[in-house]
Amino acid sequence: MSFPKARVPYLLLFPGFAFLFTFFILPIINLAQTSTQTPVKGGDTGQYEQTLAFSNYIQAFVDNKEQFARSFIYATLATVFALAIAYPLAYAIAFKSGKFKNILLVLVVAPFFTSFLLRTIAWKQILGEEGFVVPGLRNLHIIGQQTTLTSTSVAVVAGMTYNFLPFMTLPLYASLERIDPRTIEAAGDLYANGITAFRRVTVPLSLPGVVAGTLLTFIPAAGDYVNAAILGSPNTKMIGNVIESRYFKIVDYPTAAALSFTLMAAILILVTLYIRKAGTEELV
Amino acid sequence: MSSDAISARGDLRLTRITKSYGDFKAVDDLTLTIPKGSFFALLGPSGCGKTTTLRMVAGLEEPTVGSIHLGDTDITTTRPYQRPINTVFQNYALFPHLTIFENIAFGLRRRGIKDIKEQVDKVLNLVELPHLAERKPTQLSGGQQQRIALARAIVNRPALLLLDEPLGALDLKLRRQMQIELKWIQREVGLTFVHVTHDQEEAMTMADTIAVMNEGKIEQMGSPADLYDNPETAFVANFLGQSNLIKGKIDGNDGDNLVVDLFGQRISMPKKRSHAVDNSLYAGIRPEKFRISRLGTPVKGNTLTGGHIEDVSYIGVSTQYVVAMPWGQEVMVFEQNDDGVAPFDKGDEVNISWEPTFTFGLRGDEDIDAGTEVNPEELEEQ
């Protein structure tokens, strides 16, 4: 069999494209259609008809402003904490770990061997009354004797930080590891002390990793509902939890779809702004 | 101490420097003075300790024993960023995220210099690349990156400029051109250049003084002509160019000359060019110092007879002959092709002769293969 070489790329793209078309594009179109439907008059629960009710979007947003805001605040906090923890970790693995490098990298991804859900439930134990964290913090008088951590925003953000840490660490490691150590030596040779060399050479050269890591953390965190469901309370509901309950409990498909699209659009806008900023920022 | 190190000037003095890694001594009790304003080369095969020496001068490594002075200032433990020393790194180590202008300005900015633009422009003109100021390093060719690395270092007008195999990544033609340019720039800016290389031709083209290093020690130090014409050890004789080393015995004196017996044939050589410690010695003659003549032709100077041509390679400017001597040794002879043809053929019976003053004498207990082994790592580098 022979066919023009120029067609090879299309042939290679075909399986992925077919998959995405069936399981992403079609559902998205379906979701878009659902988002402007209204209940059938006199119909059963869950029966909807297309009325191009774009007001669904406004209604959905107005009703859930608070959860939207919370989602983005929690996701931002989790991203910042994950970055603060992952940067030194990735730096140490890339530059200071010597022969332990591979073991440490395996340890970073080791949590993936256990289910996401299970680990989040484990955090409920850790932060619960019977865990060592709460009594420990109480003994140190960091928190009050009556204060609990479960069902608080602290627990939700902590859970998210933990769950997304590997997604922050790995791209950071990859970009730090690529840095030629001689460029850092060169900075020292050119009158930069350790801190200046880090600020002027290491950090800018690791920025691609910072951007990739923060995106891989922020995007799923903004849409996350597992952490808030397991570690939070009704007061820590995120937009993911609202969508989940609209779909499966209230069977309000149009509102759930409208919220999904709003969330998607919001993330897309924020991420675009962020990449623009990170991409054009004067790094010197 | 460290605060005024930055303004230290003068000769660089290494005093009894040793650098050990476990049991291995990369640099072994090295003492060396590099005069201010000179172009100094540390030459040796990979693993001889030259790069370690350079890194200690730069402050990237600390000597296990010994001290480093710049003028009167002890800089042995001074941090790299506090030394008035800049380095042109192997493979350049330019900052990939900065423009060429900012790469060059990096050192000036760290020291809070005022007229950065003027100084960067000046040095960009010196390396003849002013039009590349706004490019990024990856957009430059290897030769251009090399010049920028040089510019980034000399713009700081350091007391000492270190060059670590600076031309290793360039192709042969560009390397030759850069050798001449580097030498010119060194004269132009008047800085002390310390150049580390395993390429003897590079060292000989550029340096005023060469220190040949082997196994952590300096084998011999001198001008390129001194080292080439009168090597003191077999390592130097073989590492710089090629040498024919013929085993012999000192048979007596003749005024300022020694009479030497080489497998029953007598030659003479100047006494002061012999480094032998007893009666046994190796007589060294460079291949281009030999003349070949047919048997029976009268010749002047030292003559060894009974050879026959084993191999002829015509390489344009000269012809290289391998001559088998009666005692089984093969010697190399380079003859200039003054008349354009190779006058001798394989199998011809010949004499070889040379001026007695070109002979050098090495100790008889030397390893005559020292410095001839080609390190596979170095082949890869090129």
CATH number (domain holding residue A217):
1.10.3720.10
Chain A nearest-CA residue for B161: A189
Q: Which residues 190-249 of A have a C-beta within 8 angstroms of B?
A: 190-193, 196, 200-201, 204-205, 207
For chain B, the residue count is 382
Count CB atoms within 10 A of the CB of residue B223: 13
B93 → closest Cβ in A180, A193, A283? A180
Same domain for B262 and B359, yes or no, is yes
| Cβ within 8 Å, pair A185-B91 | no
- Does residue B380 fall inside a structural domain? no
Provide the number of structural domains found in chain B: 2
**pLDDT of B104:** 97
pLDDT value at residue A1:
55
CA distance to partner chain B, nearest, from residue A283 (Å): 8
In the three-class reduction of DSSP (H, G, I as helix; E, B as strand; rest coil), residue B92 is classed as: strand
Strands B73-74 and B24-34: unpaired
The residue segments making up the domain with residue A135 are: 54-280
Q: Smallest CA–CA separation between B126 and chain A, in Å?
A: 20
pTM of the model: 0.81
In a domain, B372, yes or no: no
pLDDT at A284 over 60: no
Comparing C-alpha atoms, which of B253, B256, B230, B254 is closest to residue B243?
B230
CA distance A178 to B242: 42
Closest in B89, B97, B102 to A186, CB measured: B89
Distance from CA of B336 to the nearest CA of A (A): 46
Helix %, strand %, coil % of chain B (to 5): 30, 35, 35
Chain B residues in contact with A283 (beta carbon < 8 A): 97-98
**Cβ of B100 under 8 Å from any chain A Cβ?**
no
pLDDT the model gives residue B374: 57
Kindly identify which residue of chain A lies nearest to residue B111, measuring between CA atoms.
A191
Interface of B with A in 33-92 (CB under 8 A): 58-60, 79-82, 85-87, 89-91
Residue B181: CATH number of its domain = 3.40.50.300
**Do B95 and A189 make contact, defined as CB atoms within 8 angstroms?**
no
Strand order of the β-sheet with B192-197 is B85-88, B160-164, B192-197, B39-43, B209-214, B217-222
Q: So what's the pLDDT on residue B189? A: 86
The pLDDT value given to residue B302: 94
- pLDDT category at A127 given cuts 50, 70, 90 is confident
DSSP single-letter state for residue B375: P
Most B CBs within 10 A among A176, A180, A182, A191, hence the mutation to make, goes to A191
Residue A23: inside a domain: no
**Residue B235: inside a domain:** no
Please name the residues in contact with B258: beta carbons below 8 A apart, sequence gap of 6 or more.
Answer: B250, B252, B268, B269, B270, B271, B274, B361
Q: In what order do the strands lie in the sheet with B265-270?
A: B265-270, B257-262, B244-254, B280-285, B360-363
Q: Which residues contact A200 (CB under 8 A, 6 or more apart)?
A: A187, A192, A284, B106
**Cα distance between residue B95 and residue B81, in whole Å:** 17
Q: What is the mean pLDDT of each run of 10 residues along chain B (382 residues)?
A: 72 95 93 94 92 95 95 94 94 94 96 94 92 95 92 93 88 86 88 93 92 94 95 94 93 91 94 92 95 86 93 89 94 84 84 94 89 57 40
Q: Are residues B35 and B183 in the same domain?
A: yes
Does a structural domain hold residue A36? no
Report the alpha-carbon distance of residue A141 to residue B330 in Å, rounded: 89
- Counting every residue written for chain A, the total comes to 284
- From chain A residues 43-82, the ones with a CB under 8 A of any chain B CB are none
Closest approach of A207 to chain B, Cα-based (Å): 10
Q: Answer yes or no: do B178 and B287 share one domain.
A: no
Residue B213 domain-assigned? yes
A vs B, Cβ pairs < 8 A, gives 66
* B197 and B251 fall within a common domain: no
Query: Count of domains in chain A?
Result: 1
- In chain B, residues with a C-beta closer than 8 Å to the C-beta of A196 are 110
Q: Are residues B197 and B257 in the same domain?
A: no
Per-residue confidence (pLDDT) for residue A98, from 0 to 100: 87
CATH number, domain with residue B274: 2.40.50.140
For residue A205, the chain B residue with the least C-alpha distance is B97
Is A284's CB within 8 Å of B98's CB? yes
Q: Tokens for A65?
A: 């402003």
DSSP string, B335-371: EE-TTSS----TT-EEEEEE-GGG-EEEETTS-TTTT
What residue ranges in chain B does DSSP mark as E strands? 12-21, 24-34, 39-43, 65-70, 73-74, 85-88, 160-164, 192-197, 209-214, 217-222, 244-254, 257-262, 265-270, 280-285, 291-294, 302-314, 318-324, 330-336, 349-354, 360-363
B236 in a domain, yes or no?
no
**What's the mean pLDDT in A208-226?**
93
* Range(s) of the domain holding residue B336: 242-363
Q: What are residue B261's phi and psi, to 5 degrees?
A: -100, 115
Tell me how far apart the alpha carbons of residues B335 and B144 are, in angstroms, rounded to a whole number. Answer: 38
- Rounded to the nearest integer, the mean pLDDT of chain A is 90
ipTM of the predicted structure?
A: 0.81
Task: Provide the 8-state DSSP code for B132.
Answer: G
Q: State how far the Cα of B182 lies from the Cα of B161, in Å rounded to an integer.
A: 12
> Chain B residues with CB inside 8 Å of A284's CB?
98, 102
Given this model, what pLDDT does residue B373 score? 65
Whether residues B196 and B116 fall in one domain: yes
The answer to whether position B377 is within a domain reads no
A162 located within any domain: yes
Closest-CA distance, B82 to chain A, in angstroms, reads 6
User: How confident is the model at residue B358, as a pLDDT?
Assistant: 95
Q: What is the pLDDT of residue B381?
A: 42
Percent of chain A with pLDDT over 70: 97
CB atoms A189 and B85 under 8 Å? yes
Q: What is the pLDDT of residue A148?
A: 82
Q: How do residues A73-114 score in pLDDT, each as one tens digit? A: 999 999 999 999 999 999 999 999 989 999 999 999 998 898
Query: Which whole number is the average pLDDT over A125-144?
Result: 85
How many angstroms away from the CA of B190 is the closest CA of chain A?
20
Structural domain contains residue A224: yes
Distance between CA atoms of A152 and A233, rounded to whole angstroms?
7
Identify the pLDDT of residue B379: 47
Q: A11-20: string of b/e by CB count within 10 Å (b at 16+)?
A: eeeeeeeeee
B338 and B195 in one domain? no
Q: How far apart are CA B167 and CA B178, in angstroms?
A: 8
Give contacts of B87 with chain A, Cβ < 8 Å: 186, 189
Residue B164 lies inside a defined structural domain of this protein: yes
Q: Which residue pairs, CB below 8 angstroms and at least 24 apart, start in B315-323?
A: B318/B288, B320/B287, B321/B292, B323/B292, B323/B350, B323/B352
CB neighbours of B36 closer than 8 A, spacing ≥ 6? Answer: B9, B10, B11, B159, B192
Q: How confident is the model at residue A50 (pLDDT cuts 50, 70, 90)?
A: confident
Two structure tokens written together for A132: 């060592």
Select the residue of B81, B86, B96 nearest A193 (Cβ to Cβ).
B81
Asked if residue B159 and residue B44 are part of one domain, the reply reads: yes
Predicted pLDDT at A7 = 86
Please indicate, yes or no, if residue B48 is contained in any of the structural domains.
yes
Verify whether the Cβ–Cβ distance B96 to A183 is below 8 Å: yes
Q: From the centroid of its chain, how far is CA A220?
A: 3
What is the bridge-based pairing of β-strands B73-74 and B85-88? unpaired
Query: Is pLDDT at A45 greater than 90 in this prediction?
Result: no
